[in-house]
Structure formats: C-alpha cells, structure tokens
C-alpha cells in the first residue's frame, strides 16, 4: 500500500471519528430535549434524566425510555425516529431490532419511506393532518398532541400563565353552566310547589315511586337494627338476611352498617353489602400509575396479597405469567372468572358501586365472578413515575392514550393476578369508547385476544342529538389555542375537584347532579333518589384538557360525530342506510312480537355458539372500511333507547349492515325509555342489564376456563331452560330485587299493581303524563326495530 493510500485511510478514519463525535453530541442534545429534566421537590436542584431511546408501543405511539429506566409519555414519531437514528449513528444502539415493532409484532415501515410512498395522500383536501403523522385512516380524529420539552425558565412562565388564565376562565365557564342549571330548575320547582300547595305529592310521578318508599322503610329499619345489635360490643355481626343466623364461610356478612356516611371510599360501600375491596397500583407503558380495585368476599378470600405485591410491577404488559399466591387458595374447580369494568367520562370506577346491592359490580361479585374495577389515568390522584402535576407533559393525552396504554395495563394486571388467559370486559360510556378505539386494527387490536366478551353499556361511538346544543356548538367554534387559554394545559376545570374537597358531601352531590343533568340532559327519574348523593361522590375526577378538547373541540369527535370515521364516511353510511332501511325493517320489525327478553337472550347466545356463520346476508363489500379485524372479541350491546348523549342505534346499524364483518354480536338490547346513566343506576338496571350481562359472560367463557370456575348464580341451568327465580343473589335487608323483577314483568304478563308474584308484591308503576318524555323539544326516539335477529339463527 502506497503512502498516499495510508494517508487517505488515516484521513477517512479521522473523518469517521469526527462524524461519530458530532452524532454523539447531537444525540446528547436530542436526549436532553426529550428527557425528564424536572426540578427536585426539596431544594430546587435540577434532576436530569436524559432520554436513552424511543420505544414504539404501537406504530404511532413511541414512548421515551430514560437513563434511570423510567418512562415518559408519547412523543411525535419523527422525534422518536430521530432519537433512535442518532443513537445508532453514535454507536450506542444495542443489538436489537433496527426497525420499531408495532403492537402486533409486525415490522413498522421506516417513517421517511412511508411518507414518501404515500405523498399523494397529503394532497387530499380532507387530510390536512397527515403531514404531522404517518398516513392513517383515523388520523383526522386523532390530531397530534402538543409537545412540551423539559422545564426551562420560559416554559415555566408559560405554564404559570396558562394555569392562572385557565383557572379563572374555566371557573367563569362553570359558573355560566351552574346558573343555567339553576334557571332550568325554576319551572320544576314552581310546579312542584304548586302541587304541594294543593296537597299533592309530585314525586308520585316517578316510575318506581312505590318501590322507593318500600326500600326507604326497609333501609331505616336495617339501620336501627344495626345500631341495636352494636350497642353491646360482644354481639355478633348481623347477618345479611333477616331472621337467619350468622352465615357460614362463603356467605355475605355486613361489616359496615347504620346510617350512611357519604364518602369516596368504595370499600366502605362494599362492606355495607358483605364484600370488601383492595387496591392494586398499575403502571402503564408511558409511566402513569393508575388504580385497579378488586372486590372480594372476606369470608372466602383469606390469604390476601401483601401491600408490596399490590404495588406496581413495571411498565411492560402481558409479560408476567405469575399466578398470584392469594388466588391459589381456591380449588381448581372453584375459581372465579375474572371481570374487568371500565367507567365513563368524568367518573371513577365507583360509579359501578353506588347502588347498594343493585350496583352492577356488587351484583356480579355476589353472583360468583371475580370483579376488578379499572380507573383511568389521573383519577382523583394524578400520579406518574417521573412527572408531577405541574408538568404539562403529564396532561398531554386524550382518548387514544387511555385505550392504547391504560386498558392493556389493566387487562395485563388482572390476567397476571388471576392466571386466566382471558377476561370479560364491561365498559360504560367513555369506557366503551377507549375500548373501541384500542381494538381498532390501526391501534392495538391484539388485546382483543385477551377478552372473552366485551359488554358495552350505553356505547359511545356516535354522537347523539345533544351535540347540537348551543354550548357544545360554541365549544366547536373555539380554536385550539383559545381552548388552551380558557381550559389550560393541565386538568380540565380543576375548581370542580377543589370544590369536592371543601364542600360538604351532600351539597356537593346536589350541585353535581344538577350541573351534569343540565349539561347532558338526563334525569334521576329511574334512580333511587335516596342513593343519588353517593352516586356523585365518584365524580368528577381529573381528566386532561386535551382529552376534553378531543370530545368537544373543533377537530375531533364533536366535528366528526364519530370516534373512528370522518363526517364524509358517516354521510356515505347514511346514504347506504336509507337505501336498505325498508329491507331491514321487513326482516326485523314485527318479527317475534311475543318473544320475551329471556327468549331473545337464549336466541342470541345460541346464535353465538352456532357453527354456521350467521352474517351471510350482509353486503361484504361494505366491510372494506371496517374498523376491526378478526382479533375483535365477541360483543354484546345494551343501548339506552332515550340516550341523547350518544347514538347507540347507529352503532348497532353499523354492525347489522355488514360494515364490520369480523365483529360477532353475542347479544344486543335496546332499552326504551332508558337514559345514558340508567344502564348502571336505574332501579331496574339489574333486571334490564345485570342479569343478562351475568349470563352473557358465562355463556361465552371457553370450556377450559369454565371447567376451572364455579358456576355463577343463575347460570347453572342449560341455556334453553328458564332461570329459576329463587336462584338469585340475596339483597341485604331487602327483597327489592324480587319486587323489581315483578314490576318489569307487568306489561308482558298482564299483571296489575298489587298482585302477588312468588310471595312478593308487585309495585305500582305510575303512568307518564303527556309531555314528560320530551327531550330537546321532541319525544323519545322510536326504535326502528325492537330486537335484531341474525339470518340463519337456529332459534329464529
């Protein structure tokens, strides 16, 4: 080799070294920009934890892994790719994949090549957001989140500015809503006062007035009995059934009683019905710490996991196959099948525990299921492994992050604790939204393989007519910048949580009910009014302003009126529906008019187990725009017939008209007269919803898991047989559920009020007067069909 060649090689090596040094410096800058960079809470010192690499949870959701092993929330795809590329060029990349994996284990295309290959899509007029993220069908509904770097002096000033302006302006917004609610109540108060002056009782118009009176008397008698038995401390704990001795292990014994004290402690209400609750801490893949509540019977669940075992186990999901030692105490054939419940917008999981024994969570737990209650990020106590409340990065999330991160973390922890391969998922309102979003084939469809059945209560996929109210229209006129000035970049209207802390429980609940009732146009007509105050102890919770902007802002749900389709796609669906409405009506309307709810449930579940595909009558061509793939779990829907907040009927039409060929509907039910919250809080919700949910879950469990579990109450007989009314979960100090069952059968069996049924008395149902069911100037919407029936159903 000549001296010239040696000189050239030396020059090249030196150039390479300089390039590597430059890349290392640039990588260090990028790592610092994406790192933690928070200030310590004690002395104000800088506690830097620079970014190490970006981990792609899904192709559109990269999170930051820091030097100390922590996780920071989602960053833009371009920034994540830049960090990983600089890391590789600096020679710091580990011997691992060079391309980021998607949620399904598939290789994700390099973002630059991906954008170049789809450059034509950027020219479409309906896709202005596709320059910001890789082309995706759902991008118009999920615009990029704001980016906040590590703390700096200027950013700290901006954060303080937004916190001050938003606190004042959002408080004024809340006051406008409050005074609107007060004005809205004046006509009702005047009307009630007039009736009382005429010695009339206005509450008698309530549908279940007689049952409310009966339960009030029983509850007061039970409170007196509790006080009497606890005067002498040596007396035993009173049993759950009047006239019986203290039950043996496995039965339900109250450990709390007496006059109710309003509290946010769900464990207190669980103990009032013979159950108890323990709290597990769960870490999401982007570093949030969320709470998972476990309901159990203390008389048959003795070896509880320790506090350390209930703490966070790390951010990775579906990697812990450990069976919790506390669960091994049950024999192989006597375990309980796990059920995870997800709450709605501005609520906590306590919404499922607010109705005494008629709470859906308590009912399922007493029926023999292992009930777990999942709470979304922030809740009553915003927590993150690395960020604090003041950091705006802690609040840069919306419904996608709740579905893509929170839901898998909760499912993974439940399966890890119980050892089952799948669980049943029950969700209400926003809980259904995050599930529908997460299961979309472009998001995280693989979690569908961990769900045996998805029970959606008041499913929120399409907007209802309430979105046209004036204050929601005003919200859509506000630009994102103005929205952030009014509502901030942290929690949404934090004054609501401050009021929760300083106001007495009952005035706060009264205010909460009337404000939300005014906003969302629902009422307490079907709830037990004596329990209403406790229902609003679990709401509101912390949610991010970005999340509310997704629901109400000018870009996303309020504009598109759907969670996964644009307005243009929705218009196309409407045109197709109009063309074949008459065909569908001929297939479904007036068919099986004498079929009672039990027969409908039997027919639908038999269809689920039928080996023949039952959707052959659908136009397969419509499935080309499907949201879901074959990983979507079996689905059951309970739709509130008078729900103006969301349009459940339209979602049902989507499934029935063949637009989702991979979705298998196990059961569907439209409950006429029900409003948005009635599916969980109505006095007859167990009759209308709970019993069917209980049976749908059990009938869809795989045979291997079913063989390991005790059979839930009411599910022991073959599907074709009628349920024994005596085989039911007991109520504490009340036979109210038996009475509610009788009330619900009046119309079908032609019974009159006051007649006896199974030793119980049928309550009186007051007829609604004309105009009582008017909403937004119209009557309750009529269902175009009473119950859908799939073609080829063996019971059809």
Catalytic-labelled residue, pool 429, 452, 565, 734: 429
CA atoms within 13 A on the CB side of 556: 22
Active-site residue, 429 included: yes
CA 176 from chain centre, in angstroms, equals 28
- CA dist 672 → 493, 557, 593, 678 (Å): 34, 26, 15, 11
Do residues 685 and 360 touch, judged by C-beta distance below 8 A? yes
Going by C-beta distance under 8 Å and a sequence separation of 6 or more, which residues neighbour residue 673? 526, 641, 642, 773, 780
**Cα–Cα distance between 601 and 590 in angstroms, integer?**
18
Strand pairing category for 635-640 and 71-72? unpaired
**Cα–Cα distance between 443 and 437 in angstroms, integer?**
7
**Cα–Cα distance between 601 and 624 in angstroms, integer?**
30
Residue with tokens 């001929």: 586
The conformation of residue 403, written as its DSSP 8-state character, comes to I
Centre a 10 Å sphere on the Cβ of residue 749 and count the other Cβ atoms it contains: 12
H-state helical runs in 553-663: 557-560, 567-588, 597-609, 648-656
Centre a 10 Å sphere on the Cβ of residue 16 and count the other Cβ atoms it contains: 10
Residue with tokens 């109450």: 713
In SS3 terms, 451-514 reads as EEEEEEECCCCEECHHHHCHHHHHHHHCCHHHHHHHHCCCECCCHHHHHHHHCCHHHHHHHHHH
**Cα–Cα distance between 630 and 546 in angstroms, integer?**
31
Catalytic-labelled residue, pool 61, 276, 391, 643: 643
The conformation of residue 440, written as its DSSP 8-state character, comes to S
Tokens of 359: 């709470």
Catalytic-labelled residue, pool 294, 384, 500, 676: 676
3-state secondary structure of 296: strand
Residues in the chain: 796
Centre a 10 Å sphere on the Cβ of residue 535 and count the other Cβ atoms it contains: 23
Residue with tokens 């192709």: 59
Active-site residue, 321 included: no
Give catalytic residue positions: 429, 643, 676
């Amino acid at each position: 080799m000549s001296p010239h060649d040696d000189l050239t090689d030396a020059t090249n090596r030196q150039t390479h070294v300089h390039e590597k040094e430059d890349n290392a410096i640039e990588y260090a800058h990028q790592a610092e920009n994406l790192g933690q960079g928070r200030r310590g809470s004690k002395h104000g010192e800088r506690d830097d934890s620079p970014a190490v690499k970006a981990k792609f949870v899904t192709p559109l959701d990269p999170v930051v892994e820091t030097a100390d092993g922590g996780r920071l929330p989602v960053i833009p795809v371009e920034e994540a790719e830049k960090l990983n590329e600089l890391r590789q060029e600096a020679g710091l990349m580990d011997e691992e994949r060079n391309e980021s994996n998607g949620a399904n284990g598939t290789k994700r295309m390099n973002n630059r090549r991906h954008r170049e290959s789809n450059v034509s899509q950027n020219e479409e007029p309906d896709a202005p957001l596709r320059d910001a993220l890789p082309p995706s069908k759902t991008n118009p509904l999920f615009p990029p989140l704001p980016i906040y770097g590590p703390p700096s002096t200027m950013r700290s000033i901006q954060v303080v500015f937004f916190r001050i302006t938003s606190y004042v302006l959002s408080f004024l917004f809340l006051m406008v809503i409050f005074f609107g609610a007060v004005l809205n109540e004046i006509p009702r108060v005047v009307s009630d006062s007039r009736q009382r002056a005429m010695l009339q009782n206005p509450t008698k118009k309530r549908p279940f007035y007689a049952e409310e009176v009966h339960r009030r008397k029983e509850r007061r008698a039970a409170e007196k009995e509790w006080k009497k038995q606890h005067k002498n401390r040596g007396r035993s704990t009173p049993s759950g059934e009047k006239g019986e001795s203290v039950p043996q292990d496995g039965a339900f014994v109250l450990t709390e009683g007496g006059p109710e004290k309003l509290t946010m402690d769900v464990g207190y209400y669980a103990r009032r019905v013979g159950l108890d609750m323990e709290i597990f801490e769960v870490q999401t893949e982007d570093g949030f710490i969320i709470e998972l509540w476990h309901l159990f019977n203390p008389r048959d669940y003795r070896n509880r996991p320790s506090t350390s075992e209930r703490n966070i186990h790390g951010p990775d999901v579906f990697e812990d196959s450990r069976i919790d030692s506390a669960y091994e105490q049950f024999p192989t054939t006597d375990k309980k099948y796990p059920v995870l419940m997800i709450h709605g917008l501005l609520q906590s999981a306590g919404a499922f525990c607010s109705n005494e024994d008629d709470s859906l969570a308590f009912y399922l737990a007493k029926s023999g299921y292992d009930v777990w209650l999942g709470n979304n990020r922030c809740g009553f106590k915003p927590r993150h492994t690395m960020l604090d409340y003041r950091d705006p990065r802690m609040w840069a999330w919306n419904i996608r992050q709740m579905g893509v991160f929170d839901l898998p973390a909760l499912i993974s922890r439940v399966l890890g604790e119980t050892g089952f391969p799948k669980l049943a998922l029950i969700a209400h309102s926003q809980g259904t939204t995050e599930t529908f979003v997460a299961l979309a084939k472009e998001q995280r469809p693989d979690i569908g393989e961990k769900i045996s059945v998805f029970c959606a209560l008041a499913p929120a996929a399409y907007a209802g007519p309430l979105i046209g109210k004036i204050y929601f229209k005003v919200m859509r006129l506000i630009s994102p910048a103005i929205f952030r000035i009014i509502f901030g970049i942290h929690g949404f209207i934090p004054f609501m949580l401050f009021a929760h802390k300083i106001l007495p429980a009952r005035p706060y609940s009264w205010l909460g009910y009337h404000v939300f009732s005014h906003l969302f146009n629902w009422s307490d007509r079907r709830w037990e009014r004596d329990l209403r105050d406790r229902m609003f102890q679990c709401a509101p919770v912390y949610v991010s302003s970005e999340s509310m902007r997704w629901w109400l802002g000018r870009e996303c749900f309020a504009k598109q009126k759907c969670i996964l389709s644009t307005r243009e796609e929705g218009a196309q669906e409407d045109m197709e529906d109009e063309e074949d409405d008459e065909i569908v009506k001929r297939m479904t309307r007036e068919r099986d008019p004498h079929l009672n709810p039990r027969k409908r449930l039997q027919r639908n579940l038999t269809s689920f187990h039928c080996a023949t595909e039952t959707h052959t009558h659908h136009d397969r061509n419509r499935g080309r725009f499907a949201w879901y793939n074959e990983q979507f779990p079996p689905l059951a829907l309970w739709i509130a017939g008078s729900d103006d907040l969301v349009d459940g009927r339209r979602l049902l039409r989507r499934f029935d008209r063949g637009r989702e060929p991979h979705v298998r509907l196990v059961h569907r039910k439209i409950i006429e007269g029900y409003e948005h919250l009635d599916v969980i809080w109505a006095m007859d919700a167990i009759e209308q919803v709970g019993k069917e949910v209980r049976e749908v879950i059990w009938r869809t469990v795989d045979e291997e898991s079913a063989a390991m579990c005790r059979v839930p109450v009411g599910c022991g007989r073959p599907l074709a047989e009628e349920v024994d009314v005596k085989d039911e979960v007991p109520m504490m100090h009340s036979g109210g559920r038996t009475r509610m069952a009788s009330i619900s059968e009046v119309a079908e069996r032609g019974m009159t009020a006051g007649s006896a049924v199974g030793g119980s008395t049928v309550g009186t149902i007051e007829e609604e007067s004309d105009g009582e069911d008017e909403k937004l100037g119209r009557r309750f919407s009529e269902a175009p069909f009473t119950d859908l029936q799939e073609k080829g159903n063996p019971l059809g």
